[in-house]
Structure 1
Amino acid sequence: MTLQEQELAAVFARLAGTAARDPLDTQTLLTELVEGGHRLFDAPGATVHYAPGREAGRTEGTDAALRSLAADAARWREGPGYDVRTTGRALIDVDVTTAPMRARWPRWTARVATLGHGRITGLPLPAKEGPGGALVLFGAPGSNLDDKALALARSFADAAAHTLALQREVAESRALATQLEHALSSRVVVEQAKGILAAQHGLTLEAAFAGLRRYARSHQRKVADVSRDVIAGEDVPVEW
C-alpha cells in the first residue's frame, strides 16, 4: 500500500468515526471531506456543496475564502460544484481560466481568479434520490491529477457519499423514533385522563374522550395538553 493509499484509508476511518460519534452533524463530515481531499491529492484547496433530496444545501471549504466562494456559488447557482451536484456528472481536470468557462460561470471564475486557482476537478457525491452533492478539488494553473490520483479521488468521493448517506439514514431514524416516542407518550397521557374523567363523572371512556376532544378544540389546544391538566388535578370544565 502506497503512502497516499494509507492516507486514504486513514481519512475513510476518520469519516466513519465522525459519523459514528456525531451522526447528526453533517457539517463536521463535510469539513472532514474537504480537508481529506486537500491532503490526499495535494490540492491547494477544496470545496463541497451537499444538498440531497429537498434538504437545504450545505457548503464547506478548506479556508475562509473558499468557504465564502462555495456559499456564494450555491446561492448564484453557478460554478462546478453546482453543475456537478445538479447533473451528477464529473468534471475532470478543467481549465477554468478559458473564455468558455468564464462565459459559463462568470461570477465564479472572476472570484477564483483572484484566489490564484486555475484548474478544478469536480466529483459527484450521489444520494439515493439522485445527485446529492459535489466535491471540487482546486489546482494551480498547469497542474493536474494523474490517472491513479483521479481513480483514488473517485473512490474517495464515493466513500464519502456513502458515509453521508448513512448519516442521513441514522438522522432520519432518530427523528422517527423521537416522533413515535412522543406519540406514544401523548397516547398514554390521554388514556390516563380519560380514565380519570370517566371515574369522576360516571362516563364511558368513549364519552370522556369525546368531552376532552371537544374542550380542546373549542380552546384551540391539543388533547394531550388538556389531558396533562386533568392528570395534574387542575379544574378543566369539560362539558358532557
Structure 2
Amino acid sequence: MTLREQEVAAVFAELTGGAARDPLDTQALLATLAEGGRRLFHARGAKVAYVPGGHSPVLTDGTDPSLGSLAADAARWEEGAGYDARTTGCALVDVDVAARSARLRWPRWSPRATALGFGRATALPLQGRSGQVGALVLFTAPDKPLDEEALALVRLFAEVAGHTLTLQRELSETQVLAGQLEHALSSRVVVEQAKGILAARHGLSLDEAFAGLRGYARSHRRKLADVAREVTEGQLPELLAQ
C-alpha cells in the first residue's frame, strides 16, 4: 500500500469509526468530515453543512473558525456553493469564487469567501437514503484546481460521508428509543411493585391498589412512576391509609 493509499484509508476509517464510537455526537463527526476532506485533498480549507433527516436546523462546521462562521452564515443566507449543492443534489466543481458570475449568484457568500483568501471551491452533495442531507465544500487556491483523480476520490468521500451521517443519525435515534423503552419498562416495573405493596398492605385487589395510586398521583399533580417509586422505598406509608 502506497503512502497515499494509507492516508486515504486512515481518513475513511476515522470518518466511519466516529459514528460507531459516539453516535450521539454529530458535531464531532462533522468536524472530522471537514478536516478529513481538507487533509485528504490538500485543500486550504473545508466546511460542511448537514440537515439531519432533511429538516432544519442546519448543522455546520469548518476547518477553522472563519469557515465555521461562513458555513453557518451561508445556511442562514441560503446561498453559496454548498447551499446549491445541498438543495439541488448537483456537484459544483472548481468554481471561481471571485468571478462575476459567482458574485451575482451569491452576493454575500462570494465576497466573504474571497476575503478569506480562497480562490476556488468544489461543493459535493452528501446523499442520505432519501435524498440530499448536506454538502461538503473544499476550498483551494486560484491556481490549484482538482485533477480528475482527486475529483473522483472526493466524490467517493462525499458518498461515504453522506451514508455515514445517515447511519449515525439512525444509531442515535435507536439509542434514544432504546433509552425511552428502558425508562418506560423500568417505570412499569416500579408501578407493578407499588401495586403489590399497596394491595398487600390494605387488603385490596391489584386494580383497586392501582386506582388509589393513580388517584394520589393526580391529586398531588405528580408523575405516577415517582409516586410508585416512593411507595416501594417506604416513603409514603400514609398512602391509602384509612
Q: Does TM-score exceed 0.5, indicating one fold?
A: yes
CA distance in 2, matches of 1:171, 1:236: 43
Look up the match of 1:29: 29
Shift of 1:22: 2.2
1:93-140 alpha-carbon deviations (Å, 9 max, x no partner): 212222232122111112111112121110111122421110001122
Note the aligned Cα RMSD (angstroms): 1.9
Change in Cα spacing, 1:39 to 1:198, as seen in structure 2 (3 Å) is same
Look up the match of 2:10: 10
CA distance in 2, matches of 1:105, 1:49: 17
1:16-52 alpha-carbon deviations (Å, 9 max, x no partner): 2322322322222212211121122121111000112
Under a length normalisation based on structure 2, what TM-score does the superposition of the two structures give? Answer: 0.91
What is the one-letter code of the residue matched to 2:92?
L
Q: Percent identity among equivalent residues?
A: 65
Shift of 1:55: 5.5
What is the one-letter code of the residue matched to 2:28?
T
Is the CA contact (8 Å cut-off) linking 1:52 and 1:127 kept in structure 2?
no
Look up the match of 2:68: 67
Q: How does 1:1-240 map to 2 (within 5 A)?
A: 3-53=3-53, 54=55, 56-233=57-234, 234-238=236-240
Is the CA contact (8 Å cut-off) linking 2:49 and 2:71 kept in structure 1?
yes
Q: For 1:157, what is the secondary structure of its paired residue?
A: helix
Is the CA contact (8 Å cut-off) linking 2:124 and 2:135 kept in structure 1?
yes
Is the CA contact (8 Å cut-off) linking 1:215 and 1:239 kept in structure 2?
no
CA distance in 2, matches of 1:56, 1:219: 38
Under a length normalisation based on structure 1, what TM-score does the superposition of the two structures give? Answer: 0.92
Is the CA contact (8 Å cut-off) linking 1:46 and 1:136 kept in structure 2?
yes
CA distance in 2, matches of 1:156, 1:45: 16
Structure 1 segments of 4+ aligned residues over 6 angstroms from their partners: none
CA distance in 1, matches of 2:78, 2:50: 13
Shift of 1:87: 2.3
1:37-77 alpha-carbon deviations (Å, 9 max, x no partner): 11221211110001122353221111121111112212222
Q: For 1:158, what is the secondary structure of its paired residue?
A: helix
> Where in structure 1 are there 5+ consecutive unaligned residues?
none
Q: For 2:150, what is the secondary structure of its paired residue?
A: helix
CA distance in 1, matches of 2:82, 2:209: 59
What is the one-letter code of the residue matched to 1:118?
G
> Where in structure 2 are there 5+ consecutive unaligned residues?
none
CA distance in 1, matches of 2:240, 2:107: 66
